[in-house]
Amino acid sequence: MGTTTSHEFDTRNHPVLLLFAALKHPLISLLPYLSLLTVLCSEKEFHDAARRNDTGKMQELIKKGVNVKAKNKIDRKALHWAAGAGSEQALQMLLEHDTEVNERDSFGMTALLLASWFGHLKVLQILVSCGAKLNSENKDGLSMLHCAAQRGHIKVLEFIMEDLEDIRLDRVDKSKQKNSRFSVTQDFEPKSR
């Protein structure tokens, strides 16, 4: 039963393949697989609602039993999407349900790094106040200071350098770039305030 031939797949751990197997073999009940597919669609819908800051839709999906900690194929949770989009109310709601603020996606990005990368100062401040790890870095060795500097987010840089004490400004990332607003890139052009 656990073996496969060249024409079959081992469907024990693949929900979508289980659905196709159920369609191929009418003796297998479709109901459990359809509800599983509905849950998977609801989780994507939940991620999208977090990104859009649609707390009403998020609340509706939570009441239906959606997994607020569900990850997509690049290991992003709704918390990542809310932080990257600057969705403050969605972020607050997620922090009430999902206390792990330092979880990484497949690129090593945390919610804190995404907020820095996209320049969402208020989201960054919320995450810091909830205990997000300040010295985290992604798989390329980029810290929140690198992320903000590469994108020219001056207010985020000011917050990091002036208000956060645990950031080492002289650290070098994996591409030998220093955590300095003057050495990020040659073509760096700060955004206007």
Please, what are the domains in the chain?
15-132 (1.25.40.20)
Q: Are 46 and 63 contacting, i.e. CB atoms less than 8 angstroms apart? A: no
Ranges assigned E (strand) in 46-93: none
Give the count of alpha carbons within 13 A of 162, CB side only: 6
- What is the model's pLDDT at position 56? 97
pLDDT over threshold 80, residue 4: no
End-to-end Cα, the chain, rounded Å: 64
Average pLDDT (95-102) is: 87
Tokens of 103: 């979880």
- What is the model's pLDDT at position 191? 44
Q: Rounded to two decimals, what is the model's pTM?
A: 0.69
- Give every CB contact of residue 91 below 8 A, 6+ residues apart in sequence: 50, 79, 82, 83, 111, 123, 126, 127
pLDDT over threshold 60, residue 166: no
pLDDT over threshold 90, residue 34: no
pLDDT digits (tens, 9 = 90+) for 46-69: 999 999 999 999 999 999 889 999
- What is the model's pLDDT at position 1? 44
- What is the model's pLDDT at position 106? 96
pLDDT over threshold 60, residue 9: no
Average pLDDT (149-178) is: 76
Question: What is the percent of the chain with per-residue pLDDT over 70, rounded to a whole number?
Answer: 64
Q: Are 138 and 101 contacting, i.e. CB atoms less than 8 angstroms apart? A: no
- What is the model's pLDDT at position 41? 74
Cα gap 12→60, rounded to integer Å: 31
Average pLDDT (98-120) is: 94
| Mean pLDDT over the full length of the chain | 78
Find the range with the poorest average confidence among 5-19, 90-104, 110-124.
5-19
Q: Is 8 left (phi over 0), alpha (psi -120 to 50) or beta?
A: beta
Q: Are 136 and 113 contacting, i.e. CB atoms less than 8 angstroms apart? A: yes
Average pLDDT (94-112) is: 93
